[in-house]
Amino acid sequence: EVQLQASGGGLVQAGGSLRLSCTASGFTFDDYAIGWFRQAPGKEREGVAIVSSTDGNTGYSDSVLGRFTISSVNAKNTVYLDMNSLKSEDTAVYYCAAAPETDPVTAQAREVRFRDFKDNDYWGEGTLVTVSS
């Protein structure tokens, strides 16, 4: 059974920090990029950060660049999202997801971007982050 378990959310004051964890099981972790996404009330889901399990390359949305850091410990099938200098606009439910680093159509290796995470990829339950101002 595929599982992606996100944890670490909570209530924090603006300017504070939180670490989110995403632990995966039931699939070959090394073959997937892991992404963090978030959805605030009344807003569309947006990509936050991505890490490649193959080469460790990372990517960030402009809204979190310089404040958030994504990291992966492949031996633990776990990805972390360290969030610093939190703002009220970071309040959202945060989800982790896994998308294959091989294009499902062409079978070619690819650099996974936010748009490559599809609804039929692996998604976990969210963890709520609330930043009070």
Mean pLDDT within 60-89: 97
E-assigned strands of the chain?
3-7, 10-13, 18-25, 32-39, 46-52, 58-60, 68-73, 78-83, 92-100, 122-123, 127-132
Mean pLDDT within 64-84: 97
Q: Model confidence over 90-127: pLDDT tens digits?
A: 999 999 999 999 998 999 999 999 999 999 999 999 99
Coil, strand or helix at 114: helix
Q: What is the predicted pLDDT for the residue at 13? A: 98
Coil, strand or helix at 79: strand
CB 2 within 8 A of CB 97: no
115 vs 64: CA distance, rounded Å = 17
Q: Model confidence over 9-65: pLDDT tens digits?
A: 999 999 999 999 999 999 999 999 999 999 999 999 999 999 999 999 999 999 999
